[in-house]
């Protein structure tokens, strides 16, 4: 893409953005089917919940899983692996599993799926969890949107994560 086109897009996005000032107790719901979203730099504690569903489903404060339209259950709380260094990933993921986290939110582009796989393998090997106890998420990066590239990208994530299947595989963002 030419620089002037990128600058026009960046200006358009900046002129049309909606920013929310966070404070304790506030939340936002974004419908990814109608809006792009991103995050500004953030410091401090926060909890991120993610869900996929059809229609309106009541959520209670004691609910631990969301039921997807497929009938599968996705934990309401997971560990996001973005920006974890390779050096720290195995330890962080392993300890998260030991603490009870069951959803691991990964992506090939994060560059730490192999280290995540070592933690999964260790936790399963030690009997902390079985594979079916975990909800493993990965994402297809924009470079691999062409149909002939998808299978190789999935296989790479499966190999690196040391699992036979993914519970959820997302298109990381809709622009190839």
Give 69-104 as a DSSP string: TTS-EEES-EEE-TT--HHHHHHHHHHHHHHT--EE
Residue among 120, 137, 143 at smallest CA distance from 50: 137
Q: Are strands 73-75 and 135-140 parallel, antiparallel or unpaired?
A: unpaired
Active site (catalytic) residues: 110
CA within 13 Å, CB half, 1: 10
Q: With b meaning 16 or more CB within 10 Å and e meaning fewer, what string describes 158-168?
A: bebbbbeebbb
Give 131-154 as a DSSP string: GGG-EEEEEE-GGG-SHHHHHHHH
Please count the residues of the chain.
Answer: 176
Give 43-69 as a DSSP string: -S---------SS-----TT--EEE-T
């Amino acid at each position: 893409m030419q620089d002037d086109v990128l600058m026009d897009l960046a200006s358009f996005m900046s002129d049309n953005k909606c920013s929310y000032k966070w404070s304790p107790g506030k939340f936002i719901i974004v419908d990814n089917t109608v809006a792009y979203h991103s995050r500004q730099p953030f410091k401090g504690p926060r909890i991120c919940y993610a869900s996929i569903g059809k229609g309106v489903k009541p959520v209670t404060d004691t609910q631990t899983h969301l039921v997807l339209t497929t009938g599968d259950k996705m934990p309401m709380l997971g560990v996001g692996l973005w920006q974890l260094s390779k050096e720290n990933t195995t330890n962080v993921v392993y300890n998260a599993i030991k603490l009870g986290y069951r959803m691991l939110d990964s992506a090939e582009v994060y560059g730490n799926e192999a280290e995540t796989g070592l933690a999964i393998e260790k936790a399963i090997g030690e009997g902390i969890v079985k594979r079916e106890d975990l909800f493993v998420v990965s994402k297809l990066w924009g470079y691999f949107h062409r149909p002939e590239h998808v299978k190789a990208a999935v296989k790479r994530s499966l190999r690196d994560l040391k699992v036979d299947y993914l519970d959820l595989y997302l298109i990381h963002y809709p622009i190839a």
